[in-house]
Amino acid sequence: MRKAELVMAVVMAVFSAYLMWKSAELPIGWIPEEGPGGGAFPFWLSTGMLLCCAWIVVRWVRRVSPASQSEEQFMDARARSSFFWVAGSITVMIALIHFIGVYGAVPLFLLFYTRFLGGHKWGPSLALALVSPVILFFFFEIALTITLPKGFTEPLFYPLYDIFL
């Protein structure tokens, strides 16, 4: 935990510095008769972020904040594996949406999650994986007319549009 606290503060400090640099693309000073320039607001606030990071590091050195005192592991093996599988499967699902669309990725994700991560039986897992996309379709595409991404499965939906829209 102690190490993670420092690493996070340093990473965030680097990020703040990047934001300061990026904000400085627009004027960051005071323009007479007009007030602050376009980059001033994000620039000075990122400076504030950087100062906060420095403050966090000072507190880390002095061991004031709870996280900098804790000798506990930041993520134990259990936490690491649950984070890896859950966040990983979501990432894969979002990536798949680009190719096989929501109606392909969602059932795969649900099946994977309920059957393998959740340890449910095949029956309920399959049922959930098949029913959810149907509900999504009717709620979003038909009732609210929000088109969800379909990737290359799009032509499969033309006949459905013909019926319901």
Partner 1 sequence: MMSSTHFRSATAIALGVVLGVFGGLANADWAPKKPIELVVMAGKGGGADKLARFMQSIVEKNDLSSKPILPVNKPGGSGAEALVYVKQKQGDDHTLLVTLNSFYTTPLRQPALGIEIMSFAPIARMAEDTFLLWVNVDSGINNVDDFVKAAKSAGNKWIMAGTGKGQEDQLLTSFLNSAYGLDMKYVPFKGGGRVAKELAGNHANSTVNNPSEQLGFYEAGNTRALASFTPERLPLFKDAPTFKELGKDFVYFMQRSVVGAPGMSPEAEAYYRKVFKAIYDSAEWQDYMKKKSLQGDFLTGDGLKEYWGREYKIHQKMLKDIGEI
Partner 2 sequence: MEIFSLLIEGFTIAFEPLNLGLVIFGCALGLFIGAMPGLGSVNGVAILLPMTFLVPPTSAIIFLGAIYYGAMYGGAISSIMLGIPGASTAVATTFDGRPMALKGLADQALVTAATASFIGGTISIILFTLFAPPLAKVALAFGAAEEFALMMLAFATFIGLGGDDIPKTLFSIFIGLVLSAVGLDIISGQPRLIFGDITGFMHGINFLVLAIGIYGIGEMLWTIETSKGEMTVSQANVTFRRIVDGFRTLRRTFKATMIGSFLGYFVGILPAAGATPGSLMAYGVAKTVSREPETFGKGNPEGVAAPESANNAASTGSMLPMLTLGIPGSPTTAILLGGMVIWGLEPGPMLFVEHRDFVWGLIASLYVANAFALLINIAFIPAFIWVLRLPFTILAPLIFILCIVGGYGPTQDMHDVWLMLGFGVVGYLLRKLDYPMAPAVLAIVLGPLAEISMRQSLLQSGGNVFVFFERPISGTIMVIAIILFLLPLIKLVRGMLGRKATG
Binding site for partner 1 (CB under 8 A): 33, 130-131, 134-135, 137-138, 145-147, 154-155, 157-165
In the complex, minimum distance from the CB of residue 152 to partner 1, in angstroms, rounded to a whole number = 14
Nearest-angstrom CA–CA distance, 128 and 160: 21
Q: Smaller CB distance to partner 2: residue 25 or 156?
A: 25
Local structure of residue 38 (DSSP, 8 states): T
Nearest-angstrom CA–CA distance, 104 and 150: 8
Nearest-angstrom CA–CA distance, 111 and 96: 14
Q: Is 77 helix (H, G, I), strand (E, B) or coil?
A: helix
**Residue 31, strand partner residues:** 35
Q: Smaller CB distance to partner 1: residue 8 or 42?
A: 42
Partner that binds at residue 138, options partner 1, partner 2, none, CB closer than 5 to 8 Å by kind:
partner 1
Q: Would you state the structure tokens that stand for residue 155, as one six-digit string?
A: 């032509």
Residue 78, amino acid = R
Q: Smaller CB distance to partner 2: residue 99 or 156?
A: 99
Dihedrals phi, psi of 36, to nearest 5 degrees: -65, 150
In the complex, minimum distance from the CB of residue 28 to partner 2, in angstroms, rounded to a whole number = 11
Q: Smaller CB distance to partner 2: residue 118 or 160?
A: 118
* 101 is a site residue for partner 2 (CB under 8 A): no
Q: Smaller CB distance to partner 1: residue 67 or 136?
A: 136
* 161 is a site residue for partner 2 (CB under 8 A): no
Residue 94, amino acid = I
Per CB under 8 A, contacts with partner 2 among 10-49 are 12, 19, 22-23, 25-26, 30-39, 41-42, 45-46, 48-49
CB 46 within 8 A of CB 15: no
